Structure 1
Amino acid sequence: MDVRTRILHAAAELLSHAPEADISTRAVCEAARVGAPALYRQFGDKEGLLTAVVDYGFEQYLAGRSPACSSDDPVQDLKNGWDDHVGFAVDNPNHYRLMYSPGLSAPPGAAAEAHRLLLEILERCAAGGRLRTSPQTAANMIMSAMAGVALSLVSRPTISADTEFSGRVRDAVIEAVTVPAVAGGRAPAYGGTAVAAATLGALLPEGPVAPLTEAETGLLREWLGRLSDTSITIA
């Protein structure tokens, strides 16, 4: 195990047992059996260390999960992704608090990775005609709700003691941004202008779309994005 990994491993272990979601660099150095100069060479300062520890914990969590195979139902994958995200928070409360802490000037990459994974599933929902709005807007809505639930569970467990709390919020939010499937798991042929715009936007290939120019393609993407965000209503 190299020095960087040894420091991260020691810091992650200390953080998981820290009552205030904070650790001292001295304790980390002692646990990793390295001097302070080695720690600062690797991470710059304490904030750099904390950011790296959160990313390390998130990577370890994802690596320990079963491979996230995409199913034929992207909406179900969306629900599973929510449960995995909240599961990480509950299993690693101190890591999660830091993951979304306003006190860190450089947000951990884990937060951006969580958003990317969510957006990836939403793009599939849109391509299948299952999304009521643009993937980006849906991602912002879901991530806000998901992080709120997760932080409530780890910071105020007595207030959020209902075991169905996360599932109830998950289903309400996802129902608000997705289109129900019909028989056979297929989405309705037409779910309104917003759904059609989101679907077409997701199906457009990267780069210019022949016979449109690059500028015209850019306008098309902008128009589709605006149309897909016209309204979010539950039919």
Structure 2
Amino acid sequence: MPTRDASDSPRRRIIEAAIELLESGGPDAVSTRAVAAAAGMQPPAIYRHFGDKDGLLEAVAEHGYAQFLESKRAQLDPAPEDPVEELRRGWDMVVEFGVSRPELFAVMNRATGSGSDAAHRAGLEILRGRVRRLAAAGWLRVDEELAAQIIQATGQGGVTTWHSTPAERRNPALLTVLRESMVAAVTRAEPTVPAAETGPAPAARALHAALPDDADVLSDAEQRLLREWLTRLTAAGGTKTHRTSSCAGA
């Protein structure tokens, strides 16, 4: 007998249609009529399988968790050579998922159904396993429960900040710095740190900050031009990182 989420089942087709609409148009696009049409069914099928739109969104969240857990388990190494690198990879995977699939990520975080809750607990167990391996290898700086909370908070906070920042102002360095701040907070490993900037970027940044808004010596057009030049010089400095050497210890 096929499982209820078999790839050719009406339930699975409805969920996948809802996810496609969610990710292309946001929650408002997930109407029962639109989902039914996208799945090639009549609206009553939604109510028959899920009860209402909230039930459908719970099923979408559960399906998203299942996909995410599958990818986490595929990456899982029960005996990693470097548990700190395993921590980084796990954090990056969560953040990449949240950054690349924001609508689904948001629905998953809001879900309260039993299936989503069970999947969430399973994900936490994977995280706690990583933290436990850090502790066993002598890397952990704080207790295991606090470490897990810090890892979760920085990952979710990074995703939230990324999406709340206008696209033109997003800087990928934010996620790297946030991840390494997490590593420094929970482990005794040396973090990847921004390399020292060379060239005119630091001086341009300082001058930009020091410019008064109403400098009489420059016209408005000259001030705008100068600020544009300083912004370009600052951006040209780039954000390079390097990882300092580290070694484990008890």
Q: TM-score, structure 2 length as denominator?
A: 0.65
Give aligned-pair identity as a percent. Answer: 34
Segments of structure 1 that go 5 or more residues without pairing to the other structure are 190-235
Q: Counterpart in 1 of 2:143? A: 134
Hey, what does 1:165 align to over in structure 2? 174
Match of 1:72 among 57, 75, 81: 81
Q: Counterpart of 2:39 in structure 1: which amino acid? A: A
Task: Sort the Cα spacing of 1:106 and 1:159 in 2 relative to 1 into closer, same or farther, 3 A.
Answer: farther
- Deviates further, 63-72 or 115-124: 63-72
Separation in 1, partners of 2:113, 2:88: 29
Report the equivalent of 2:22.
Answer: 15
Q: Select the residue among 137, 147, 157 that pairs with 2:156.
A: 147
The secondary structure found in structure 1 opposite 2:178 is helix
Q: Secondary structure at the residue paired with 1:60?
A: helix
Larger deviation: 84-93 or 26-35? 26-35
Match of 1:48 in 2: 55
What CA distance in whole angstroms lies between the structure 2 residues aligned with 1:3 and 1:22? Answer: 20
**Quick one: distance in 1 between partners of 2:160 and 2:66?**
19
Q: CA RMSD in A?
A: 2.7
Deviation at 1:39, TM superposition (A): 1.9
Change in 2 beyond 3 A, CA 1:33/1:119:
same
Q: Higher relative contact order at CA 8 Å, sep ≥6: structure 1 or structure 2?
A: 1
Counterpart of 1:220 in structure 2 is none
1:105 CA displacement: 4.8
Q: 1:179 aligns with which of 172, 178, 188?
A: 188
Decide whether aligned partners of structure 1 residues 112 and 151 sit closer, same or farther in structure 2, where only a CA change above 3 A counts.
farther
Deviations 1:52-100 (A, max 9, x none): 2123234335546893142211111111011100111122111112222
Partner of 1:26: 33
C-alpha separation in 2, matches of 1:125 and 1:64: 21
What code does the residue aligned with 2:14 have?
I
Q: Which has the larger radius of gyration?
A: 2
Query: How high is the TM-score relative to the length of structure 1?
Result: 0.68
**Aligned residues, how many?**
185
